[in-house]
Amino acid sequence: MARDNCLTRIAAGAALGGAIGGAVGVMYGTYSAVALKVPGLLKIRHVGQATLGTAAVFGLFLGAGSLIHCGKST
């Protein structure tokens, strides 16, 4: 039972990290596409890559943080 709770917490942490990372990635990707003067429709690709990359990193770190906290007793 505790293992299911731990897996649920890890999945929730990774999902939350992905959502936060996605939001940050959209803002950063848009800013950098405009600042770097990316031409035309390549802006969409640039923003998408920044969004996916940032979401993956945030999700990984929040999932790992949830895993570390899962082992601690309260």
Q: Are 29 and 48 in contact (CB under 8 A)?
A: yes
CA nearest to 68, candidates 4, 10, 5, 14: 10
- Number of folded domains that form the chain: 1
Q: Is the pLDDT of residue 74 over 60?
A: no
Q: What is the pLDDT of residues 11-55, one digit of tens each?
A: 999 999 999 999 999 999 999 999 999 999 999 999 999 999 999
Rounded to whole angstroms, the Cα distance separating 9 from 46 reads 32
Name residues whose C-beta falls within 8 Å of residue 50's C-beta, 6 or more positions apart in sequence.
Answer: 25, 26, 28, 29, 32
- Determine the structural domain holding residue 37 and report its residue range: 2-71
pTM of the full predicted structure?
0.84
